[in-house]
């Protein structure tokens, strides 16, 4: 399934049904009287989190949503039926906002929802206008129109640990080693074009979510390469795990460049706990020079041989609290 993290949709709630004018004329009801029922309210458009979903793929092919109209009222005080609601199911981490407008909701928990477009109220029938001085009203109300909106849905991946690194730093290989995720792995840059999530088991009954997110390049904060398509997903991660290749000419410089890209995009992200993994130690002879410009916990690892992997997982689990 293709990973889709942005769509535009149009939502139209149902119109309310009309109230009517009616009078009781049954043979054995001597006084009769107004008996026009109310119209039913229109159906609403509801956007709700479904934890089984991980992409906006399905919504990409269904851009217009219309809820049911409320039925008109009838005689004998029969009220119209409410229009059917439509529920749009989205992954956790979906932001709902009006096109070129304000954010309406940031949906992060299973079952969390928002009424994106509210159905119109049903109109009142003439029975509702009866008073002590107005015994035979002929007034009624038409139903109100439902809300209509154009919305943007943007998905930002929710994960405990986000992998930050240049292309081919070994992020996908690490994820495939520590979880059952099967990301695409190859020797050319930008193998990973969309985020991949994996569940990492850290104990007999504990686990955490790790996200392999497309690699950065210099200038990513300006939109170069995959740019902000990558960086927006980092915002949701509790811990940032930086990965640098031990075979880089200067691994410590690689880390500095990654750090600077994150800082230029959003300095707030650097308040998150950070770890540094030096990858591909199975193909490196000796110990890489890692005189980093700031104190950071460093983990030499090899996703091929498994060297250092367990130490890294336990350190991550401890800081996450899992």
pLDDT tens digit sequence for 94-104: 999 999 888 99
Distance, CA of 46 to CA of 12 (rounded, Å) = 11
**Residue 257 backbone dihedrals phi, psi, to 5 degrees:** -65, -40
Q: What is the Cα 258 distance to its own chain's centre?
A: 26
Q: Is pLDDT larger for residue 296 or for residue 37?
A: 37
According to the model, what pLDDT value does residue 30 have? 55
Q: How far apart are CA 4 and CA 110, in angstroms?
A: 19
Please state the rounded mean pLDDT for residues 195-201.
Answer: 81
In the chain, % of residues over pLDDT 90: 45
pLDDT level of residue 249 (50, 70, 90 thresholds): confident
Q: What is the reported pLDDT for 185?
A: 45
Instruction: Show Cβ contacts of residue 222 under 8 Å, excluding neighbours closer than 6 positions.
Output: none
Cα three-residue angle 38-42-44, rounded to 5 degrees:
150
How would residue 171 be classed by pLDDT, with cut points 50, 70 and 90?
Answer: confident
Give the chain's mean pLDDT: 84
pLDDT digits (tens, 9 = 90+) for 255-285: 998 898 888 878 888 888 999 999 998 876 6
Q: In the predicted model, what is the mean pLDDT of residues 42-56?
A: 91
Mean pLDDT within 221-241: 64
Q: Which of residues 11 and 169 earns the better pLDDT score?
A: 11
The CATH homologous superfamily to which domain 6-155 belongs is GTP1/OBG domain (2.70.210.12)
What is the model's pLDDT at position 149?
95
**pLDDT score of 84 more than 90:** yes
Q: Is the pLDDT of residue 199 over 70?
A: yes
Sign of CA dihedral 312, 318, 320, 322: positive
Q: Do domains 6-155 and 159-320 have the same CATH topology?
A: no
| CA gap 101, 91 in Å, rounded | 22
Give 157 or 102, the one with higher predicted confidence: 102
What is the pLDDT, as a whole number, of residue 192? 44
User: What pLDDT sits at residue 188?
Assistant: 40
CATH assignment, 159-320:
3.40.50.300
Average pLDDT over residues 138-160: 92
Domain layout of the chain by residue ranges: 6-155, 159-320
**Whether 48 contacts 110, CB under 8 Å:** no
Give the CA distances from residue 53 to residues 4, 142, 208, 248, in Å, rounded to whole numbers and listed in that order: 11, 40, 18, 37
Structural tokens at position 23: 């009078």
**CA nearest neighbour of 311 among 265, 286, 278:** 278
CA distance 88 to 154: 14
**pLDDT for the residue 45:** 98
**pLDDT score, position 291:** 64
104-127 average pLDDT score: 95
As a whole number of angstroms, the distance between CA 69 and CA 16 comes to 6
pLDDT at 290 over 80: no
Nearest 5°: the CA angle 310, 312, 318 is: 100
Closest CA to 20 of 128, 121, 119: 128
What integer pLDDT is reported at residue 267 of this predicted model? 84
């Amino acid at each position: 399934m293709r990973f889709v993290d942005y769509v535009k949709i149009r939502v139209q709630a149902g119109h309310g049904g009309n109230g009517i004018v009616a009078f009781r004329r049954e043979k054995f009801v001597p006084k009769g009287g107004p008996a026009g029922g109310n119209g039913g309210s229109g159906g609403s458009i509801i956007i709700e989190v479904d934890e089984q979903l991980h992409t906006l793929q399905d919504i990409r092919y269904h851009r217009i949503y219309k809820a049911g109209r409320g039925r008109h009222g009838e005689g004998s005080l029969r009220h119209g039926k409410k229009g059917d609601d439509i529920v749009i199911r989205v992954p956790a981490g979906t932001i709902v906002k009006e096109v070129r407008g304000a954010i309406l909701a940031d949906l992060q928990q299973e079952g969390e929802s928002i009424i994106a477009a509210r159905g119109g109220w049903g109109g009142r029938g003439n029975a509702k206008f009866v008073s002590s001085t107005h015994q035979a009203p002929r007034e009624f109300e038409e139903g109100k129109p439902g809300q209509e909106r154009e919305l943007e849905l943007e998905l930002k991946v929710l994960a405990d640990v986000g992998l930050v690194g240049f292309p081919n730093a070994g992020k996908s290989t690490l994820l495939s080693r520590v979880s059952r995720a099967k990301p695409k792995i190859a020797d050319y840059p930008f193998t990973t074009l969309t985020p991949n999530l994996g569940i990492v088991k850290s104990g007999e009954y504990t686990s955490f979510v790790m996200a392999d997110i497309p690699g950065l390049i210099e200038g990513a904060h300006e939109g170069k390469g995959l740019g902000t398509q990558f960086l927006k997903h980092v915002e949701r991660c509790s811990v940032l795990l930086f990965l640098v290749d031990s075979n880089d000419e200067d691994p410590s410089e690689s880390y500095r460049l990654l750090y600077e890209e994150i800082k230029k995009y959003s300095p707030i992200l650097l308040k998150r706990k950070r770890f540094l993994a030096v990858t591909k130690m199975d193909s490196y002879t000796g110990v890489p020079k890692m005189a980093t410009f700031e104190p950071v916990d460093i983990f030499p690892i090899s996703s091929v041989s498994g060297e250092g992997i367990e130490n890294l997982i336990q350190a991550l689990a401890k800081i996450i609290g899992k």
